[in-house]
Structure 1
Amino acid sequence: VNSPPSVPRFQSLPEDILSKLADTLEETCYNDGDYIIRQGATGDTFFIISKGQLFLPFCCSEDVRTASVTAMGDVTCLVIDRESFKQLIGGLDDGSSKQYDSDEVKEKWKAEADFFSSVSLSDFKIICTLGIGGFSRVELVQLKNDRSRSFALKVLKKRHILDTSQQGHILSERRIMMEVHSPFIIRLYRTFRDSKYLYMLLEACLGGELWSLLRDRGSFDDSTTRFYTGCVIEALVFLHSRGIIYRDLKPENIILDHGGYAKLVDFGFAKKVGLGKKTWTFCGTPEYVAPEIILNKGHDSSADCWSLGILVFELLSGSPPFSGSDPMNTYNIILRGIDMVEFPKKITKSAANLIKRLCRENPSERLGNQKNGVKDIQKHKWFEGFNWEGLRQGTMDPPFIPTVDGPFDSSNFDYFPKDEEDPPPDEESDWDLEF
């Protein structure tokens, strides 16, 4: 939607609603003399004339059509059914309006920013390695002059980033993480750089990866899955209300803090697209990729709703619903749809209903992408009685409290040997000046 709509009813609509409406409208062509509306028919369809003229005796907006409408010459209409129209236009409070932070919270962030702006890389001592990724490793570090405080230091090799053309992703990750402040998203405090590496100083969450817990237990029950899914939903509410899509939801990117609460980590695929805008970058983990990404149709925050459905399935069953021998095979299985998947008996009826409604092929039909936004997911029967306020306040008991013996206990993570490789320095370039 690049220009203001010509339909008066739509001119006051926010851009994200207009974008969803544009996705849902179907083009229908009529020949001269064809009936578009028949007298006496039920008014279950909304028409927008995009080309041509109609013979319209008088207003026909009633529930039962009081006159027939016919095409005068060739006519093209954009058509939407009543239910879809109500879902999109019926209520514009999607539960994700911008949250304004209190002066007290802003003051806290400012003090925090002042503190971290005064520290340098040499103020930290490496304790051990917490994890290794494709482009980076994460070290547990100690602030030398305050031995009670630990952080996670993500170390990225500049040469590797340049060789794989990941500069844009890395800078986007930094930009997004510096602006998000949510208890359900890992904090990035500041960044450093030198000739060989980029460094991201992060909050240390020592409860371990959710993936490791799932691997050890095989699968989770409804209650456990609800808690972790609830944490993820709160993170997505925060991101989507700011026009940010996450695009890499999976158990490996969910980490537990020492109290057992879950947080999203790794924002390498996250993108600030703006409300209602789409993007066409192909990215994500194959088993979690939405069909519109595979088909290059453009995607928005509804791709995260799809991935949420995949996550619920994997947490409840131990493996994702779509999985092939290689990525192309997996994509073909995804395009067959969720209705072709046999659900294991351990997934209850209401959980299966939630998964299927999150994994609708048409993004505009997905739960979480309609008029009430993510609130529709929170109100689903599977979440009945769930203490959302307790989750937000951190007063709800988590299903699993990890054993963390102090700020330098890395026992909830796998063991990783030290990195012996000494990469070459970055050739003279200024792409990393933002760091």
Structure 2
Amino acid sequence: MDQEAVSEFLGQVPLLQRLPSSSVRKIAELVEVRNYEPGDYVIREGQNGEGVYFIWDGQAEVSGPVYAEEGELHLKKYDYFGHGTDDSAPQVNVTALSKLTCIVLQHGNRHLLQPKSIWNADGTPADFSLVEQILHLEPLEADLFRGITLPDAPIFRQVFGGQLIGQACISSSIQDCGLP
């Protein structure tokens, strides 16, 4: 499969639609294609899968003790599974119902599924996008924050309109979430 087709497909997966297109392209570079015949196990109960599986084509069935009362769960194109941690063995079986093609993002690359922002980025504010720099607030003390104004703003040294509201929302979420 060519990388452009994989990127386009991944852009349609609900889990990935919140990511920027650059992240989706990076994921498309790293995924591997796996093919299964009808009746093949993709993941067996108590065994770890290889990573996060995105169904490209075909159907799969999820069964196991968790679904004993409800019956099986059927998965189709754009559905995904296997997003647990490396050391948590799933208590389900995932079986191919038809010829099944999955795109697999290995466990070691799961971090790419998390969007980077000022709240979870590893860098410094200078590494953030302009919007993130403008919305970034430095907590000084309880209910007191320091932010920046637009770099090309007039010399008023004040914040107006949408920037003020955006920073207010950020300061509120920082306090609500207990973030530093």
TM-score after normalising by structure 2: 0.49
TM-score, normalized by length of structure 1?
A: 0.22
Which is higher, the Rg of structure 1 or of structure 2? 1
Identify the structure with bigger relative contact order (alpha carbons < 8 Å, sequence gap 6+).
2
